A = this chain, B = another copy of it.
Amino acid sequence: MLTKNQFNAARSMALTYFEKAGIALTDEEKESIEVADFGLSELENTGLELITYVNTGRCCAKELILFPHQTCPEHRHPPIEGEPGKEETFRCRWGEVYLYVEGEPVKEPKAIAPKGREEAYTVWNEVILKPGQQYTLYPNTKHWFQGGIDGAVISEFSTKSRDEADIFTDKDIQRIPEVGE
């Protein structure tokens, strides 16, 4: 669980990334930045800061922030409600992202899985995204990603987002965060 202080610090830090990337947010949006620690209470290692611009029954757009070497853990988006699962395109806007996608193994990856949790990560198909570069991930494909040395700002364009349906490899993970007092 995140403490209220940790949550506020992460939100303030995320704002500095939006500024560095030149992305304008409304005041309401600044107050609604989501901080996900995935229930692990190790936000610096495993976490994600994000804002959802739109999420209808048909499509979704978000802005994702990764702090330096912060990891969004391995997961997939399974078929749901008669649909083939979430399809998503990650477009790097600022910084650098190391993305790993189900496929061929990689020998010397740029990213290192969070310490003590290595079993929940597979190092395969390494995709390095710099500003202006993007990658489209098809449904139900396992993936994880990590911010580079300066962190990253990433636009996500996708079909409907249902975070509660995501399946994580690490069984300790709980996607919907709890924030303490």
By a beta-carbon cutoff of 8 Å, the part of chain A in contact with chain B is 21-26, 29, 53-54, 56, 58-61, 87, 89, 91-94, 131-134, 136, 155, 157-159
Contacts and interface: CB of A to CB of B under 8 A. Distances in A.
A53 B134 contact: yes
28 contacts: A23-B93, A24-B93, A24-B94, A24-B131, A24-B132, A25-B132, A26-B133, A29-B132, A53-B89, A53-B91, A53-B157, A54-B89, A54-B136, A54-B157, A56-B87, A56-B136, A58-B159, A59-B59, A59-B60, A59-B87, A59-B89, A59-B157, A59-B158, A59-B159, A60-B157, A61-B61, A61-B155, A155-B155
B21 A22 contact: yes
Most B Cβ at <10 Å: residue of A58, A89, A92: A58
Contacts of A26: 132-133
Contacts of A54: 89, 134, 136, 157
A35 to B, nearest CB: 20
A155 B134 CA distance: 15
A22 B20 CA distance: 10
Contacts of A22: 21-23
Contacts of A60: 59, 157
Nearest to A61: B157
